[in-house]
Each structure stands twice: as structure tokens, then as C-alpha cells.
Amino acid sequence: MRKSFILLASVLVLAACSVQNESQTNSSSSSSASILPSGKMDQSQIVAPQVGLSDEEWNNSRGTVSDGEDTNSEQEPTRILSEDVDSLIVYFSRSGSTELLASKIQALSGADVVELVAKETYSSDYGETVQRANQERNVENTPELDVEMPNLSQYQSIYIGYPIWGMTMAEPVATFIETYAKELDGKTIIPFSTNGGYGLGSSIDYIETVLAENQVTARIEPAFAVEGNKVDQADSDLMTWYNNLNK
């Protein structure tokens, strides 16, 4: 299934690598969302310099850098786990946009949170990350994760958050789906995503395919998708989407 994206991904890579947007430099050292005493993600700690850029500056995300630590150089990956909550947000974010979106959904839902990080984190350099992600996708070699997953049986709803890479979900989230597919049986899956302007790609088909391959039945709710530079303008659409979910 993932192989069918190769051609499309390659075209995008060429386009993505052709221009490096110099204006998108991450001057501050990045960090993952810290956790407030209330158990909420602290949005003020999320570093996502591309949020708020004009479309011209954003240039469909080309050149977006990170600190090379999957947004976690100064803080531990976000983990909010409690014993009595029945929804969980699992997300990966390289440059912060998806993390900001995750924090907004967490504020609405009060869900527990687990941030995914790759054992070998992705380069701060956009082109290098594109190259690595394409290689991982083309040889169906999803990266190993550095995360201890809680027992998913506690949760009825799982929000799954990812950036779009090569017109499908970022590879670390593919690792999550493939590893934990069987444990998603009977649950409600709620995808959310940020992208460079080309939408959700085939990420939902991908989720459906992996679940079907594992004989897993799950309800997949309509996904929320927004461009990575516009997460700060998404509140009203996000609220409408959230209120229409069958959580």
C-alpha cells in the first residue's frame, strides 16, 4: 500500500527540496510541550516558528527546520497519563505544528497524551528529513520508536495526530499504527493532521488498510486537517469538528 505513494512522494520531494525557505529558521532552541500542574499541555512552551507565517513565507512548508530532536531537545516527550480518562492523544511532531494542534485538542477533550519520538530523531534539516522519510517509506522500513506505550485497553477513543509526509502520515505514526493495530480493535479512532498545503493525502486509506490487514474493526471519525502555518487560526473550525465527533 505504502509503495503506491512512492511516485507521488518522489514528485513532492523534488518540489520540496528545490526551494529552501530561508525565512523559516528556528532561532530558539526548540522544546516539546511542557505539562501544567493541571495535567494540560502548556501551549506557551510549544515552539513552532512557522505558525503565523504568510502563505508566501510558508511556501508549502519547504525549508521548515526543527531542532533535530523531534521538538524535544529541552524537555521530555509529552506524557499525560491518568487512570480514569477514556481517551488518549497519540501524536508525532517534528517542527511543532502538530504538537500545537494536539495541545488544542487536549484542552478541549481532557484526553491523556503520549508523544511519539523516533529512536533516531529526524534531522533539523528539511531536505535531509525528506530524504530519510522517503527512504523509510519506499522500503517499508518504519522507524523504531522511543516511547513506552500505556495499556491501550483503558481508552475507548484514540486521537492520532501526524504531519503529512510524502502525502501520507509521517513515518513514526505509521510505526505506531502498525505496531498497535490489534489493540485498536473496537475503538474510535480520531485522526488529526497538519500539512504543507496538500491535504490529508492517503493517510486515512493507510489507517484503514493496516486495520483491515490486522482484521481490526474500528470506527474512524472524520479527520481534522490544517496547514502547519495556520494552526493558530484553526480554533473555530476545530471546535466545529470536535463538537461533531462521536467520542
Ligand X SMILES: Cc1cc2nc3c(=O)[nH]c(=O)nc-3n(C[C@H](O)[C@H](O)[C@H](O)COP(=O)(O)O)c2cc1C
Helix (H, G, I), strand (E, B) or coil at 28: coil
Least Å distance between CB 56 and ligand X?
15
CB of 39 to ligand X, least distance (A): 22
Residue closer to ligand X (CB basis): 111 or 133? 133
The single residue among 228, 230, 238, 241 that binds ligand X, judged by CB under 6 A, is 228
| CB of 41 or CB of 130, closer to ligand X | 130
User: Smallest distance, Å, CB 115 to ligand X?
Assistant: 11
| Strand pairing category for 112-115 and 79-80 | antiparallel
Site for ligand X in 123-162 (CB under 6 A): 126, 129-130, 133
Cα 84 to Cα 72, 77, 110, 129, 206, distances in angstroms: 27, 21, 11, 38, 31
Residues with Cβ < 8 Å from 241, sequence gap 6 or more?
222, 224
Binding to ligand X (CB under 6 A): which residues in 166-195? Answer: 166-167, 194-195
For ligand X, the closer of residues 96 and 211 by Cβ is 96
Amino acid at 134: N
How many chain residues bind ligand X (CB under 6 A)? 26
Minimum Å distance from CB 36 to ligand X?
21
**Are 162 and 170 a contacting pair, CB within 8 Å?**
yes
The residue among 195, 204, 162 whose CA lies nearest residue 70 is 162
226 forms bridges with which residues in the sheet?
194
Q: Which residue is nearest to ligand X (CB)?
A: 228
Binding residues for ligand X restricted to 196-225, rule: CB under 6 A: 196-198
Q: Would you give the binding string for ligand X spanning residues 62-101, x where CB under 6 A is met?
A: --x----------------------------xxxxxxx--
Backbone angles phi, psi at 65, to 5 degrees: -100, 170
What φ, ψ does residue 79 adopt, rounded to 5°? -140, 120
Q: What's the CA gap between 37 and 89, in Å, rounded? A: 18
CB of 246 to ligand X, least distance (A): 26
What is the grid cell recorded at 133?
522519510
Contact residues toward ligand X (CB under 6 A) are: 12, 48, 61, 64, 93-99, 126, 129-130, 133, 163-167, 194-198, 228
